[in-house]
Chains A and B, each alone.
Chain A
Amino acid sequence: MSISSPYENLAKTAFWRSGVAEASPYQPEGIYSKKWNIPYEYKIATAGSCFAQHISRELKQNGFNVLDMEPAPYDLPKKLHNKFGFSMYSARYGNIYTTQQLLQLAKEVVGKFTPADTVWEKDGRFYDALRPAVEPSGYASVAELTAHRKHHLSKVEELFSTMDLFIFTLGLTEAWVHKESGTVYPTAPGTIAGAYDKNKYIFKNYSFIEVMKAFTQFLGIIRSIREDRSTPKVLLTVSPVPLTATASGKHVLQATTYSKSVLRAVAGEFASNHENIDYFPSYEIITNQAAKGEFYESNLRSVRSDGVEVVMNTFFAEHKPSENNGKLTNLRRGRRQAIQSEPDDDDLQCEEALVEFYNR
């Protein structure tokens, strides 16, 4: 039977009016169909920009087997976990905003790269420039910092070699780089520690090709350190949190659009071409025009808890906690209670937001 147009008989979600304008942003039907299941026994590793902390936390609260290679000491009060970089992700690497930062970490783990200028000093204390927020007061000595980093890298190696699923939230394309060595930093020098020196550091805004290449290399390294040389499953998301500031010289709105577009395109490219890589549309759910910005706090950056809940409901509708452990009711209830009691974004560690301080 012939049809008059290729758009005839398409699903309602294929049309803007029925898929967005007249649909509830709180129940975005058909926006995500999983490529594969996440079995209960899957060892999940999480990393990414600060929005990824929501995902990590929600997965844990819903009984998924999220790895934590560097758990907090058992008697560290929970409210202090994030302050010291614990319980945010599967290891204590803090936020990984760019794919280049992720690649650099993997390279360092396997000894293919030695970052330079990794110790930033402030008021007599020493900060790990590659994760400056995990020790808020820094270390007492370079030796202490080095010992901590060595331990951290060994745990990341363990993580990368054992994970079955890697959930990574792509956050930014902008970064600050050490000119001579190419070392990529998560924060601009001088924000938490260190000092900005234009002869020493350069600003970099990565392109689609560069981000693609970095993530491809990252996957290659991951394969190389795994005993069976396998590639784990990968779930990519893009952070819906706009840039706090841009050093690109463009308007921040334009810079944000560039950054998110590149990252979204990279995620789409990987998901389209690799059976083991899936894309989860948290970016689209939060930025959905039908929500009219309601999923954002008044600063129009931070994501409100009900936005996070919609994101995670969408995720759990496909990857059901009940399929994982048969404790759906209690877990869901527990999750809701946790969400209600949590102070949303205030509870997250987002170093990039610190640059707002310079907005005078």
Chain B
Amino acid sequence: MKKRILFIGTSHIGTFRSAWDPIEGSDEFEADFFGVPEPVWTGLLSNGSFQISDNKLLLPTQEEILSAFNFKLDAELKKSREYLLRSKYVFDANDNYSKIVLIDFDFHYRFPLWKNDDGIYMYDNAPVSLDLLLSLDRFAGNMHSHSGKYRQSGLTFKDDKEVSFISLIKLIRQLVPNVPIDLIREPFNMSSNIKRDKHNRIETQIISNKQLHDFAIKKSRGDEKTKMRNKIVKAVFDASVATSFECHQLCTDRLGLNIRHLPQPQETLDDTYAGTKDIFSVAYGDTGRLNRHCTPKYAEYYFKDILDV
């Protein structure tokens, strides 16, 4: 009997689907994919309610989906809406999946978050617990920072509703309590592939880096030329990676998920730090080097772990 694997994620799931192609037709495995772009997830989480019924994880109702797309639509959103209206549900528990893999359900480092000398997470100048971080809108939602364009094109978000995928994971866990769930994790700011340029993702990163830069300068009391600034930048950067990791750890501990790391970035990070005068120009210059791992090649490599069901 074939082992079935369900992949749930954003449009990034296309990378995994491509990587799956050579395995398609295998006697051992088969896979299903459910993916919509990140802003659409946000729209669904903030406008609608995922529910369980008849052993299925249902999408928000048609009315809720439509209300999330109530103005003029760009082609991508229109396609997503049609896909959602056609799909009705995310998955059926009767399909007996051997594993569910969540892709892009990531925690993103938020400014002005940092870690002080005692290892305490600070949000601006106030200490903050990981539980609180997990409750922050968008911290576990991952999508808002990319949503500006979509707001303009008609995707609406209810600001008073929590936009977090944790509630969705809880529903999945409730529906299939014994199916292992993998959470593929991408370290901070390394999630975008080059294709995302056209969706302003790179631009978002640059804004993010500017915030990091400004924050470092503020913390180093405006002395831009001392080593202090780079030291702080590195500390903040490290904290961001650590925070993302620890939040995943906390989340997975609470929800019983397995974290799987995308291969690579450590050597790139080390390379980034080595001898650089300006972290930003190297790490986030126009080389796109930190984005290169999100290719079918890496996804294929990654299946080695995933298929170990």
Contact = CB atoms under 8 A, between A and B. Distances in A.
A79 B130 contact: no
A143 B120 CA distance: 8
A77 B129 contact: no
Interface residues of A, number: 20
B128 interface: yes
Interface stretch (A10-18, A45-53, A99-107, A133-141): A133-141
Contacts, number: 52
Given A75-B137, A75-B139, A79-B160, A148 B127 contact: yes
Contacts of A316: none
A73 B120 contact: no
B161 A148 contact: no
Given A75-B110, A143-B118, A151 B136 contact: no
Contacts of A70: 126
A29 interface: no
Contacts of B131: 135-137
B248 interface: no
B25 to A, nearest CB: 45
Nearest to A149: B127
A122 to B, nearest CB: 14
B75 interface: no
Interface in A265-315: none
A184 to B, nearest CB: 24
A121 to B, nearest CB: 16
Contacts of B138: 75
A93 to B, nearest CB: 14
Interface in A58-99: 70, 73, 75-80, 83-84
B29 interface: no
A76 B127 contact: no
Interface string B98-123: 00000000000010000010111001
A137 B130 CA distance: 10
Nearest to B124: A73
Contacts of B123: 73
Given A143-B118, A147-B118, A147-B120, A77 B135 contact: yes
Contacts of A135: 129, 131-132
Contacts of A76: 132, 135-137
For chain B, the bracket of interface size reads 20 to 34
B136 A144 contact: no
Interface in B142-201: 160-162
Given A77-B135, A80-B135, A84-B132, A147 B162 contact: no
A140 B127 contact: no
A79 B132 CA distance: 13
B129 A73 contact: no
Contacts of A77: 135, 137, 160-162
A73 B118 contact: no
Interface string A107-127: 000000000000000000000
A144 B162 contact: no
Contacts of B129: 135, 137, 139-140, 144, 148
Contacts of A143: 118-120
A140 B130 contact: yes
A147 B129 CA distance: 11
A144 B126 contact: no
B120 A144 contact: yes
Contacts of B135: 76-77, 80, 83-84
Given A79-B162, A80-B135, 6 more contacts: A77-B160, A77-B161, A79-B160, A135-B132, A140-B129, A147-B116
Interface of B: 110, 116, 118-120, 123-124, 126-132, 135-139, 160-162
Q: Which 3 A-B pairs have the closest CB atoms?
A: A147-B120, A77-B162, A75-B137
